[in-house]
Amino acid sequence: MAGTTEQDADGTLSVPRKSSWKYIGPGIVVAATGVGAGDLVATLIAGSKFGYTLMWAAVIGCVVKISLAEACGRWHLATGRTLFEGWRSLGKWTTVYFAIYVVVWGFVYGATAMSSSALPIVALFPDGPGLKAWAVLTGLIGLVFVWFNRYAVFEKVMTVLIGIMFVVVVYVAIRVTPDIGAAFAGLAPVLPDGSLLYTLGLIGGVGGTITMAAYGYWVNAKGWTNTGWMKVMRLDNRVAYITTGVFVVAMLIVGAELLHASHLALTKGDRGLIDLGAILEDKYGAVTAKLFLVGFFATSFSSLIGVWHGVSLMFADFVERLQLDRKGVPVDKGTVEEVAAGRKERSLPFRAYLLWLTFPPITLLFLDQPFGLVVAYGVLGAFFMPFLALTLIWLLNSSRTPAEWRNGILSNVMLAAAGLLFVVLCVQQVRELPW
């Protein structure tokens, strides 16, 4: 029957005869992982400062990230090689950067993700254990879940979490009674005074992390390993960033309606959502506030387990690329087929990075983050998105990619625009670090 798949003798999925909604999966995972609590607060603050005026920036941001994620997925499917293998072909500098980045970033991010997941639990159960205890518990739950489950189960749980996020965020946006006319008017590109950095942040910020690079690995983990899956991947990718766009638009609406007119301010970072919960309780009652906190937890915890799984997959690939055989030739580990077979999820490097994301960061929960570590984390993190955009342009316009699947004019324009945007954001983020 058209639109169906069967399993081959080796257990992998046969190529579908046509694209179908029922194959959607990696896109849901990347959307759930990429949208964190901090992203939602940044969007809320933009809405509170400028109302609906920057709605157009949210839409452009979705288009930019559709192009980036599509390029990651296209590389994996068109070449049969993973993204890190592509980076390695560009020179040793990529390996050096990624090695430093993945160690420092993982150390700091682990603590951030655990704290973010614990915040709404503490607000929901104020008489229970404190923030640090809940943070450690969420990290350990994430570790155990990813350690003992393969991609298929992981995808199902992420689908449930993003469903909760979607329902809650859209409900709150409807509850505050949006001004539809003003929202549509906000689609006209306008830059109010003082809005440039907020605009760039909206375009580049929400859903723009290392998880975009992990998208190609999740595509392979789903069982998609060749160009026959290209149409399915592109549909899946659009679903991912349209979903992300709904989150951004909904949070802009909440910021514009609930905070802009009344000049209410939120704390920056994840704690801003606790502020919003208090405002919602005051205005709409305890049920709406508690529902929002459940959505806040789904947002934070989906990002935690998404990174625990996706970046650990990338790290496992990174380590295997560095292995050499006796003759000094890089070992061929089966590339995308190995990801599809689930062997990387059972590998020692995968589990070692899971432990790195969980246990060393616990120490940061009980200490102030060292000054030098904060600066290093900021610089490495700010540079990642320009690194991703510009290396994809390089890879997808070279002979490393089969001619049929190289970038067209539109892809090059979108990736170049993304690269320029992320370079500007990188410079700004580095300038704002506590030097």
pLDDT per position as a tens digit, 111-167: 989 998 999 999 999 888 888 999 999 999 999 999 999 999 999 999 999 999 999
DSSP helix/strand/coil, 77: helix
Can you give the pLDDT at residue 133? Answer: 94
Q: Which of 19-28, 280-289, 297-306, 416-425 has the lowest mean pLDDT?
A: 19-28
- Across residues 233-237, what is the average pLDDT? 94
Give the C-alpha separation, 192 to 241, whole Å: 26
Q: What's the token pair of residue 364?
A: 């940061």
Residue 152 tokens, joined: 């298929």
Q: Which pLDDT does position 23 carry in this prediction?
A: 82
Q: What are phi and psi of 65, to 5 degrees?
A: -80, -25
pLDDT score of 11: 46
Task: Using the structure block, give the residue that is written with the tokens 């087929």.
Answer: 337
Confirm if 179 and 1 have CB atoms less than 8 A apart. Answer: no
Residue 370 burial (C-beta neighbours within 10 Å; 0-12, 13-18, 19+): exposed
Calpha distance 242→237 (Å, rounded): 9
Q: What pLDDT sits at residue 72?
A: 96
What is the C-alpha to C-alpha distance for residues 119 and 127, in angstroms, rounded to an integer? 13
Q: Return d(Cα 103, Cα 224) in angstroms, integer.
A: 29
Task: Round the average pLDDT of the chain to a whole number and report it.
Answer: 86
Torsion sign across C-alpha atoms 196, 197, 202, 204: positive
Alpha-carbon gap, residue 60 to 241, rounded angstroms: 11
Cβ atoms < 10 Å from Cβ of 356? 18
Tokens of 246: 């709904």
- Tokens in use for 139? 């990290």
Please write down the HEC assignment for all residues of 305-316.
HHHHHHHHHHHH
What percent of the chain clears pLDDT 90, i.e. is strictly above it? 49
3-12, 162-171, 275-284, 313-322: the lowest-pLDDT one = 3-12
- For residue 101, which phi and psi values (nearest 5 degrees)? -60, -50
**Residue 16 corresponds to which amino acid?**
P
Q: What mean pLDDT is predicted for residues 258-275?
A: 77
Direct distance between the N- and C-terminal alpha carbons of the chain, in angstroms, rounded to an integer: 62
List Cβ neighbours of 148 (8 Å cut-off, separation of 6 or more).
none
CA-CA distances (angstroms) from residue 91 to 86, 87, 268, 298, 385?
Answer: 10, 7, 39, 39, 18
Assign 3-class secondary structure to 372-412. HHHHHHHHHHHHHHHHHHHHHHHHHCCCCCCHHHCCCHHHH
Q: Is the pLDDT of residue 327 over 60?
A: no
d(CA 413, CA 415): 6
* pLDDT recorded at residue 41: 80
pLDDT, residue 127, reads: 86
Q: Tokens representing 333?
A: 């580990």
* Most distant CA atoms of the chain, gap in Å: 69
Q: At residue 54, does pLDDT exceed 50?
A: yes
Q: Give the single-character DSSP code of 346.
A: G
Alpha carbon distance 168, 432 (integer Å): 33
- pLDDT bucket at 9, cuts 50 / 70 / 90: very low
- How confident is the model at residue 4, as a pLDDT? 41
> What confidence score (pLDDT) does residue 157 get?
97
Residue 330 has pLDDT above 60, yes or no: no
Of residues 300, 234, 243, 247, the one with CA closest to residue 272: 300
pLDDT (0 to 100) of residue 108: 87
Reported as a single tens digit per residue, the pLDDT across 382-420 is 788 899 999 999 999 999 999 999 999 999 999 999 888
- Per-residue confidence at 10, pLDDT binned at 50, 70, 90? very low
Residue 302 — pLDDT band, cuts 50, 70, 90?
very high
DSSP letter string, 220-279: HHTT--SGGGHHHHHHHHHHHHHHHHHHHHHHHHHIIIIIITTT----SSTHHHHHHHHH
Distance (Å, whole) CA 57 – CA 340: 36
Q: Count each helix (H run) and each strand (E run) in the chain, helices first.
A: 17, 0
* pLDDT-based confidence at residue 15 (cuts at 50, 70, 90): low
Buried b (16+ CB within 10 A) or exposed e, 17-46: eebeeebbbbbbbbbbbbbbbbbbbbbbbb
**CA distance readout (Å), 305 to 32, 141, 310, 417:** 10, 9, 8, 31
